[in-house]
Amino acid sequence: MVSFVATPIGNLGDISLRALDTLREADIIFCEDTRHSLKLLNYYEIKKPLLSCHKFNELSAAEKLLSLVREGKKVAVVTDAGTPVISDPGNLLVQALRKEGAEYTLIPGACAFVAALVLSGFPADKFAFLGFLRGKTGEKREFLRRYAEFDGTLAFYSAPQDVEEDIRLLAEAFGDREACAVREITKVHESVQYFRLAQGLSGEKRGEYVLLVQGAAPRENPLNALSEEEHIDHYVRQGLSVKEALKAAAKDRGVSKSELYKFTVKPKE
């Protein structure tokens, strides 16, 4: 059995009892950085054999993981902070386990972008987590362009040395929107700073950041400038039935079909 275990993103107290039980019961623990994970394990007096599993050796680590699973070992997988796989190693391990038909589970817990989304107060009913901006500048620009019209909150990770350049690219792709920078989550100096993309983020850049950006404002449909009758007739002239045209016009206007129904009924003579 393999358990992917979420670990604290700052405050060592942010770990579940189930996560601690899983780490104590494991025969071996796969860690992104064994030195980093030792701080957590030593804090809770957990002593287990550790194996390194990071983005540069994940394929070979997956082979070792499968070998241990076949031996019937209990394996726990952790990353430096937060939930494995989410902008961290672990995805290749899950794929290998799935292909093998091996049993695995997640012990849920901390996740930085989820915490930042809550702290920001930005709309959370629709959002896209896009992780770190990767590649060359042109590749980043092309990636961001795909989300320029997305109307939900956008969430990014950014290292302190990349924050200013990342915000510049966000402003270039999305225009001057409201944004929020959350850092040092769960730590003593946790902060939530609001700013405009065009103005940039003030102050010294320290610690890992989660950048939240307001979604695109909805574009006004030019058909909504027509009268209700003209709007419905527009779709009828395109070949839709009156019922279908009524449904399409209602969707455009963001109203129920019943509100437009009266405009399809011909008055009696």
User: Same fold for the domain at 2-110 and the one at 113-213?
Assistant: no
- CATH code reported for the domain at 113-213: 3.30.950.10
CATH topology of domain 2-110: Cobalt-precorrin-4 Transmethylase; domain 1 (3.40.1010)
Is residue 242's pLDDT more than 80?
yes
What's the confidence (pLDDT) of residue 70?
A: 97
Query: What's the pTM?
Result: 0.81
In one-letter notation, the amino acid at residue 97 is L
Digit-coded pLDDT (tens) for 181-196: 999 999 999 999 999 9
What's the confidence (pLDDT) of residue 16?
A: 97
What's the confidence (pLDDT) of residue 244?
A: 86
What's the confidence (pLDDT) of residue 268?
A: 54
Question: Do residues 212 and 160 make contact, with C-beta atoms less than 8 angstroms apart?
Answer: no
Structural domain spans, the chain: 2-110, 113-213, 222-261
Average pLDDT of the residues of the chain: 93
